[in-house]
Amino acid sequence: MQRIAVLTSGGDSPGMNAAVRAVVRKAIYHGLEVIGIKRGFSGFIEADMWPMDLSSVADIIHRGGTILRTARSEEFKTPEGRGKAFANVQRFGIQGLVVIGGDGSFRGADIFNTEYNLPVIGVPGTIDNDIIGTEYSIGFDTAINTVVDAINKIRDTATSHERTFILEVMGRESGYIALMAGLAGGAESILVPELRYGIDEVCEKLIHGYKRGKLHSIIIIAEGAGSGLDVGKQISEKIGLETKVTILGHLQRGGTPTAFDRILASRMGAKAVEILVEGYRKHMVGMIADKIVASPLDASFKGKKAIDLDIYNLANILSI
């Protein structure tokens, strides 16, 4: 193997740059040439790519976003689009591809490998932490720290006004951001798509809290579990409590990556190159029990990552 390529795809996540840096520098360490593909699979199709050297990834380890840019390519979902990408594989002599992104990007890489036999390695980069095969994805830690920071700030005003706040967070169909930020932020209720919740139960908890002297309440809802505005309306209608709703949105995707995310990204990016060199053809890297391990790429998107029920129950007990 002489030349590999790297791209970032799907929603950006803090730490992707640290992963790109690790891929490029570890590949050069192994004597490989690296091509950087811009705008994910869109740039793959359009030949938007250029050679990367050691200094092309200097001064990026601390930056959010991705210097390679990213996209969600509709064209790559078509055989014609993938055919154009393969023409570029041949044109540029690419012998292996590292895809940094989420499960949608891994799905695309998996099909491409099946059709054209190009070795592909996935590096999980998404704030959602919804990928099977890894306990953490790159960007999740930074995102939950951003949410916890927001909870801290909202708590100040919630206490001062003795108000009920609802905070809607990202996560697509996953409740991981809500769950972990909710535990770390001491939220009274955590609503996630993986578990059914009843508005009566949420209201009872609110009333119980206020009766025992709580000055405020914070409810955190994952976007996949419903709308924060709807929940606020239902609470007001049921128990006449005024609620304030904050939708955090895309600010959860930005910002300087935490040390945890930089370390994770550096280890995962380096491991991706290592296993490419060793001859793995369709795998992803993941962190299990603090070790970076390889697992089959298709296992990452067949099925849904389960929520950690022990953590959910603990958060409930502690927020009483």
Residue 170 near ligand F6P by CB under 6 A = yes
Q: How would you list the strands of the sheet with 282-288, edge to edge?
A: 49-52, 33-37, 3-8, 96-101, 120-124, 282-288, 291-296
Residue 235 near ligand F6P by CB under 6 A = no
Stretch that binds ligand F6P, among 37-45, 166-174, 195-203, 261-269 (CB under 6 A): 166-174
Q: Report the distance separating Cα 163 and Cα 242, nearest Å.
A: 7
Residue 172 near ligand F6P by CB under 6 A = yes
Determine which residue in the list 33, 103, 110, 128 makes contact with ligand F6P, applying CB under 6 A. Answer: 128
- The Cβ of residue 117 has, within 10 Å, a number of other Cβ atoms equal to 11
- Minimum CB–partner distance for residue 13 and ligand F6P (Å): 7
Residue 139 near ligand F6P by CB under 6 A = no
Residue 127 near ligand F6P by CB under 6 A = yes
Active-site pick, 12, 103, 128, 261: 128
Interface with ligand F6P: number of residues (CB under 6 A)? 10
Q: Report the distance separating Cα 202 and Cα 50, nearest Å.
A: 53
128 part of the active site: yes
Residue 168 near ligand F6P by CB under 6 A = no
Instruction: Output 127 or 294, the one with its CB closest to ligand F6P.
Output: 127
Determine which residue in the list 25, 26, 82, 253 makes contact with ligand F6P, applying CB under 6 A. Answer: 253
Residue 257 near ligand F6P by CB under 6 A = no
For the four alpha carbons of 114, 8, 263 and 259, in that order, the dihedral sign comes to: negative
Instruction: Output 141 or 223, the one with its CB closest to ligand F6P.
Output: 223
Residue type present at position 316: N
Burial degree of 211 (CB within 10 A; 0-12, 13-18, 19+):
exposed
11: CB partners within 8 A, 6+ apart: 70, 72, 102, 126, 127, 128, 253
133 in Cβ contact with 295 (< 8 Å) = yes
Instruction: Output 20 or 170, the one with its CB closest to ligand F6P.
Output: 170
The residues annotated with a catalytic role in the active site are: 128
Using CB under 6 A, list all residues that contact ligand F6P. Answer: 11, 102, 126-128, 170-172, 223, 253
